[in-house]
């Protein structure tokens, strides 16, 4: 008997190794399949469960090595997976296609991107091939949306809302629900049609089994019977998928009766040996391809194609000669186990990556907790914290997958950390809103004052009031954002209404003041050209008339008030030409100043001037008293002492000044 390592070589060139593979797509299957039972059917028809009674044959010629004994459970496990995968694929051939659809990092996507990806999959891929993708997208979207709902609920309750009244949805959530509903409808429609087709195919295959069984009881030429058998095989291959729960039983029953037919065919060994040779050639090609897959670096692709090879081994090929059955099966089984182990090794390496991702996510959670541990006392501080948390959330979602056994726990820790931050933030803004509501009431009071006085005609009293409430407005803090623009518009309109009227009146007054300025400047120019006659009395009258005219010329703009000083300097020049006392000259000039003060809009200037003169009178009296006290130190000194004479001179000078200030005070009182 040939051994595993001493098998015949497949015929044909290398590029034509697997004929049946060339007629199939490179699509793959989910899980593994195949294990052995009887000596006759162990390699060609694994795990046979026949509908009718089956005679099991013993195998006294085959001795399994101790190494194979110890790995028997492992082989059985792999083969069971293969059986399940082939059954699943027989029902729905899209199971191999879903592996070719890129599964993106949905965890790192935001909600908008998830909706876009879901819509794309439904539009571009077969509806039956995207279940895993859709469910993962749904899970990620709901996790992110539920996190948002929790945050909004806490904000709602923080604002004093009742949990019974809470409801939250978004246009994006409604869009997602709509797209997902379309997916469910299309998928349900597909599987309803599939179920009907599967039942029809099952009926057809059972009929073919009955037809196969009948070949043993017909009385006809063996060539005719063999051709009939080939026709049944061809129709069987094209009969279509059947329900997965019936798959192994139906296929094993079919192979059982195929074996019976080959036993019957021993009367014509030429036909049987020809089939055995063809099947052996094809199975050797499958083994060669499996050998290549054992070296494939893309272990997932290798694993999926291996499942397709098992499906071909079971479905497309019949038995081989008895002497080759066990060796080729053992070779194929060993390669299956090796590819499976390669895949397990790959997943172990992938687990290491997931562990690193877990460390990264735990570090991010720790940073979130650290950021949340300090609580700012102002809006800008919290805004900065919010930006930091948002950046950490983005980093968390982009950190990649973690081991599945800690996925829920990690996600829970993340949500708790973010929720704690949001609760502290909401508590701050709740207190801030209370303060803002108080500020709103204060500003509403200022609005009432502004609106009550915006039409006032008493400009002197209203202007300082309006300026004060504007200053008070600036001192009051923020109000709720929804009220901010509205109340500012009301306050601004009331203030603008008043100050527009005030400015209009002042502009009109300014025109008169500018005209007065031009007249006064012309008057000064004329006064500079005035020639006195030399007659003191006549010249004094001329100067007084000039002053009287000056009084009638009106007020000038505030910025040009220095024209009064210019006018007084010209008067001083004229008075110097007269033989008048200092007191007379000063009083004449002072009358002009009083005239200017009396023309102002309020009497505060005159009051200030009166207070100023009284202070001067007090100051001069104080100086006189001090000088008189100083003379007491010289009571035994002669009057012609220079120091005594100087003090007496100063006393006299201060008394003259005192008389002048008293005279000015008298004139103010006469107004």
Instruction: Specify whether the CB–CB gap between 7 and 284 falls below 8 A.
Output: yes
pLDDT at site 33: 32
pLDDT at site 367: 92
Rg (CA), the chain: 55
DSSP string across 241-295: ---HHHHHHHHHHHHHHHHHHHHHGGGGHHHHHHHHHHHHHHHHHHHHHHHHHTT
Q: How far apart are CA 258 and CA 247, in angstroms?
A: 16
pLDDT at site 366: 92
Interval 131-162: pLDDT, tens: 888 888 898 888 888 878 887 887 777 666 77
Interval 368-387: pLDDT, tens: 999 888 888 888 888 898 89
pLDDT at site 37: 31
Using pLDDT thresholds of 50, 70 and 90, give the confidence band for residue 83: low
For the chain, percent of residues with pLDDT exceeding 70: 80
Closest by CA to 658, choosing from 608, 629, 616, 610, is 616
Q: How far apart are CA 79 and CA 330, in angstroms?
A: 12
User: Out of 190-199, 215-224, 368-377, which region has the weakest mean confidence (pLDDT)?
Assistant: 215-224
Q: Angle 449-455-456 (CA atoms, 0-180°, nearest 5)?
A: 80
Instruction: Specify whether the CB–CB gap between 433 and 165 falls below 8 A.
Output: no
Mean pLDDT over residues 327-354, rounded? 88
Separate counts of helices (H) and strands (E) for the chain: 20, 0
When the pLDDT of each residue in the chain is averaged and rounded to a whole number, the result is: 77
Mean pLDDT over residues 495-515, rounded? 79
Using pLDDT thresholds of 50, 70 and 90, give the confidence band for residue 91: low
Instruction: Specify whether the CB–CB gap between 279 and 320 falls below 8 A.
Output: yes
Q: How far apart are CA 579 and CA 191, in angstroms?
A: 128
Give, rounded to a whole angstrom, the gap between the first and last alpha carbons of the chain.
Answer: 145
Using pLDDT thresholds of 50, 70 and 90, give the confidence band for residue 89: low
Mean pLDDT over residues 211-218, rounded? 82
Interval 620-660: pLDDT, tens: 888 888 887 877 777 666 667 777 778 778 888 888 888 87
Angle between helices 536-551 and 563-575 (to 10 degrees): 170
pLDDT at site 489: 92
Using pLDDT thresholds of 50, 70 and 90, give the confidence band for residue 363: very high
How many CB atoms within 10 Å of residue 270? 9
Q: How far apart are CA 50 and CA 56, in angstroms?
A: 11
Instruction: Specify whether the CB–CB gap between 103 and 125 falls below 8 A.
Output: no
pLDDT at site 662: 82
Q: How far apart are CA 91 and CA 86, in angstroms?
A: 9
For the chain, percent of residues with pLDDT exceeding 90: 8
What sign does the dihedral 607-610-612-614 (CA atoms) show?
A: negative
Whether the predicted pLDDT of 97 surpasses 60: no
Instruction: Specify whether the CB–CB gap between 416 and 450 falls below 8 A.
Output: no
Whether the predicted pLDDT of 87 surpasses 70: no
Which of the given ranges, 345-354, 507-516, 639-648, has the highest pLDDT on average? Answer: 345-354
Mean pLDDT over residues 57-61, rounded? 32
3-state secondary structure string, 305-330?
HHHHHHHHHHHCCCCCCHHHHHHHHH
Angle between helices 322-372 and 72-91 (to 10 degrees): 80
Whether the predicted pLDDT of 206 surpasses 90: yes
pLDDT at site 596: 67
pLDDT at site 54: 32
Interval 567-619: pLDDT, tens: 888 877 877 777 666 777 777 777 767 776 666 666 777 788 778 888 888 88
Which run of H or E residues covers position 195?
helix 171-214
DSSP 64: -
User: Out of 10-24, 27-41, 501-515, 582-596, which region has the weakest mean confidence (pLDDT)?
Assistant: 27-41
What tokens does 164 get?
Answer: 């019974």
Q: Output b/e per residue, 105-140; b: 16+ Cβ within 10 A.
A: ebbbbebeebbebbbebbeebebbbbeebbeebbeb
pLDDT at site 50: 32
Q: How far apart are CA 613 and CA 70, in angstroms?
A: 124
Higher-confidence residue of 396 and 262: namely: 396
**Is 504 exposed, middle or buried (CB count within 10 Å of its CB: 0-12, 13-18, 19+)?**
exposed
**Is 167 exposed, middle or buried (CB count within 10 Å of its CB: 0-12, 13-18, 19+)?**
exposed
Which of the given ranges, 56-70, 258-272, 529-543, 625-639, has the highest pLDDT on average? Answer: 529-543
């Amino acid at each position: 008997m040939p051994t595993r390592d001493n098998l015949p070589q497949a015929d044909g060139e290398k590029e034509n190794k697997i004929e049946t593979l060339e007629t199939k797509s490179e699509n793959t299957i989910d899980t593994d399949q195949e294990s052995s039972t009887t000596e006759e059917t162990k390699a060609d028809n694994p795990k046979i469960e026949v509908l009718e009674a089956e005679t099991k044959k013993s195998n006294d010629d085959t001795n399994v090595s101790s190494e194979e004994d110890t790995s028997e459970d492992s082989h059985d496990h792999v083969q069971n997976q293969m059986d399940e995968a082939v059954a699943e694929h027989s029902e729905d051939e899209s199971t191999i296609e879903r592996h070719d659809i890129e599964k993106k990092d949905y965890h790192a996507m935001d909600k908008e991107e998830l909706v876009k990806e879901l819509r794309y999959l439904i539009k571009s891929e077969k509806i039956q091939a995207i279940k895993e993708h859709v469910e993962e997208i749904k899970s990620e979207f709901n996790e992110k949306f539920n996190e948002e709902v929790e945050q909004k609920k806490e904000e709602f309750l923080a604002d004093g809302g009742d949990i019974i009244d809470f409801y939250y949805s978004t246009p994006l959530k409604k869009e997602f629900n709509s797209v997902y509903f379309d997916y469910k409808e299309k998928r349900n429609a597909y599987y309803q049609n599939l179920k009907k087709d599967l039942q029809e195919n099952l009926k057809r295959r059972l009929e073919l089994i009955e037809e196969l069984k009948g070949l043993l009881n017909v009385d006809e030429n063996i060539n005719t019977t063999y051709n009939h058998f080939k026709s049944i095989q061809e129709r069987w291959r094209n009969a279509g998928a059947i329900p997965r729960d019936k798959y192994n039983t139906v296929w094993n029953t079919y192979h059982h009766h195929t074996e019976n037919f080959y036993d019957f065919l021993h009367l014509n060994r030429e036909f049987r040996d020809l089939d055995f040779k063809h099947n052996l050639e094809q199975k050797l090609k499958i083994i060669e391809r499996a050998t290549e897959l054992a070296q494939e670096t893309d272990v997932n692709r290798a694993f999926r194609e291996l499942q397709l090879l098992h499906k071909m081994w079971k479905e497309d090929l019949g038995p081989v000669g008895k002497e080759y059955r066990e060796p080729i099966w053992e070779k194929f089984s060993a390669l299956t186990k090796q590819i499976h182990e390669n895949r397990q090794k790959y997943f172990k390496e992938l687990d290491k990556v997931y562990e690193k991702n877990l460390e990264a996510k735990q570090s991010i959670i720790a940073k979130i907790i650290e950021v949340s541990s300090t609580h700012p006392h102002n809006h800008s501080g919290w805004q900065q914290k919010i930006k930091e948390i948002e950046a950490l959330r983005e980093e968390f979602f982009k950190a990649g997958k973690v081991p599945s056994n800690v996925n829920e726990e990690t996600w829970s820790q993340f949500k708790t950390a973010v929720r704690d931050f949001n609760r502290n933030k909401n508590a701050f803004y709740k207190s801030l809103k209370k303060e803002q509501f108080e500020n709103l009431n204060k500003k509403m009071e200022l609005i009432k004052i502004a609106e009550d006085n915006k039409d006032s005609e008493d400009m002197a009293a209203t202007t300082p009031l309006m300026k004060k409430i504007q200053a008070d407005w600036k001192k009051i803090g923020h109000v709720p954002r929804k009220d901010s623009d509205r109340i500012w518009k009301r306050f601004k309109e009331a203030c603008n209404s008043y100050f527009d009227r005030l400015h209009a009146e002042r502009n009109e007054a300014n025109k008169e003041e500018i005209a007065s300025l031009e007249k006064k400047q012309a008057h000064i120019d004329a006064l500079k050209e005035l020639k006195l006659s030399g007659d003191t009395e006549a010249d004094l009258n001329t100067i007084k008339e000039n002053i009287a005219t000056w009084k009638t010329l009106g007020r000038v703009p505030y910025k040009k008030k220095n024209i009064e000083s210019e006018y007084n300097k010209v008067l001083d020049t004229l008075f110097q030409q007269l033989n008048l006392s200092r007191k007379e000259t000063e009083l004449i000039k002072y009358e002009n100043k009083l005239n200017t003060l009396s023309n102002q809009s309020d009497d505060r200037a005159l009051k200030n001037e009166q207070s100023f003169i009284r202070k001067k009178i007090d100051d001069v009296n104080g100086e006189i008293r001090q000088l008189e006290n100083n003379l007491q130190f010289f009571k035994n000194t002669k009057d012609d002492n220079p120091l005594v004479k100087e003090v007496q001179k100063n006393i006299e000078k201060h008394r003259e000044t005192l008389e002048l200030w008293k005279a000015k005070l008298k004139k103010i009182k006469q107004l």
